[in-house]
Amino acid sequence: MEEWEKNNDIIVEDLYNKGWCVLDHYIPEDFRKELLQEQKELLMHGQFRLAGIGSGDTFAIKPEIRSDKVLWMDENLLTPLQEVYWDKMNGLRSAINRRCYLGLKSYEAHFAMYPQGSFYLRHLDRFQTVSYRIVSVVLYLNDSWEESDGGALRMYFTRPDGIEEYEDFLPLGGRLVAFLSGEIPHEVLPTNKERISITGWMKDRD
């Protein structure tokens, strides 16, 4: 069994059992570096735009809520590197369907860059206007990261007794985080340096 498949099995079991997974070294280090370099080149060419909240008629840019920049990936215009990652995400989507029966039909994603000082307040990825988002998947591409760099992903969990707890996860390069989009509230804490990732959603529609 290939390493990708082993990693997918771990993710699928965690999603099935608890609704989320954090897995380090999801991709080979050389592939991470290539994806990071490509994303930095896209940044240099000014292709990223300020991210917003909501969608369609409700879309709005509100830097007091989120202050990252994004570049959406077009499935029909992927670079060779992006195609490799896209194929792996579709493989993960199929594996999740086989175990969890979520009816996932497609994948969408964007590159995300949080400049120094940026953040994203607590939210859910699945809401009324994007109810088709079922599983969120984030892959971090950063070269190095320390706790003092900030920018952690904070995920909130409710215990059986109703008490809410949270865990913080640093955006370590090669780390993949997957969770049920409508069940795990989360936020990105203020980052003290540039923070880069690929953020995507597996959907129950084409």
Q: Tokens 């969890």 identify what position?
A: 100
Integer Cα distance of 114 and 120 in angstroms: 9
The H or E element spanning position 40 is helix 29-44
Closest Cα partner for 129 from 60, 51, 198?
60
Fold designation for 3-203: Jelly Rolls (2.60.120)
- Over residues 39-89, the pLDDT tens digits come to 999 988 877 776 655 555 555 556 667 778 898 999 999 999 999 999 999
Per-residue pLDDT of the chain (206 residues; tens, 9 = 90+): 578 789 999 999 999 999 999 999 999 999 999 999 999 999 888 777 766 555 555 555 566 677 788 989 999 999 999 999 999 999 999 999 999 999 999 999 999 999 999 999 999 988 766 789 999 999 999 999 999 999 999 999 998 899 999 999 999 999 999 999 999 999 999 999 999 999 999 999 88
Closest Cα partner for 169 from 194, 144, 186?
186
The H or E element spanning position 137 is strand 133-140
Q: How many CB atoms lie within 10 A of CB 206?
A: 6
Q: SS3 letters for 66-133?
A: ECCEEEECCCCCCCHHHHHHHHHHHHHHHHHHHHHCCCCCEEEEEEEEECCCCCEEEECCCCHHHCCE
Query: Positive or negative, the Cα torsion across 51, 54, 55, 58?
Result: negative
The pair of three-digit structure tokens given for residue 68, joined into one six-digit string:
């990252």
**Is residue 158 helix, strand or coil?**
strand
User: Exposure pattern of 48-84 as b/e (b: 16+ CB <10 Å)?
Assistant: beebeeeeeeeeeeeeeebbbbbbebeeeeeeeebee
